[in-house]
Amino acid sequence: MRSINRLGYYFPKNEADVNLLRGLKQKEIMQLHLARIGGKWICYLEGKNAEALKAFLERYHMNYLTVHKLAQIRDVFGLREERYKRKYSVHKKTKSKESRNARLDQF
């Protein structure tokens, strides 16, 4: 409990720790989140998900990841980035057909 309050995250050592954290989460004593990635658990407080993600990657030496795997891990921690949306250029509305074609009286 001290490390959760101090750091904002905690790495459970065994299933008993995970079950204890699940019980605390159900009782809503704290705003806890549990994440399991590749059989490895981490518990973190709400709002500390960026620090927990960084600590998880450092602890389990996940230095080299594919972009797809990193995106999956970020989704587990709730750090979903908005996709870059293509911005469409705004074209001027064309007037009637007469305005597109030159008329003799314009010369």
Interval 26-57: pLDDT, tens: 887 778 888 888 888 999 988 888 898 889 88
* pLDDT at position 88 over 50: yes
Confidence of residue 76 (pLDDT cuts 50, 70, 90): confident
Q: What is the pTM for the complete model shown?
A: 0.63
Dihedral sign (CA 27, 18, 11, 41): negative
Residue 43 φ/ψ, nearest 5 degrees: -120, 135
The pLDDT assigned to 84 comes to: 45
78: pLDDT strictly greater than 60: yes
Q: Which residue has the higher pLDDT, 42 or 86?
A: 42
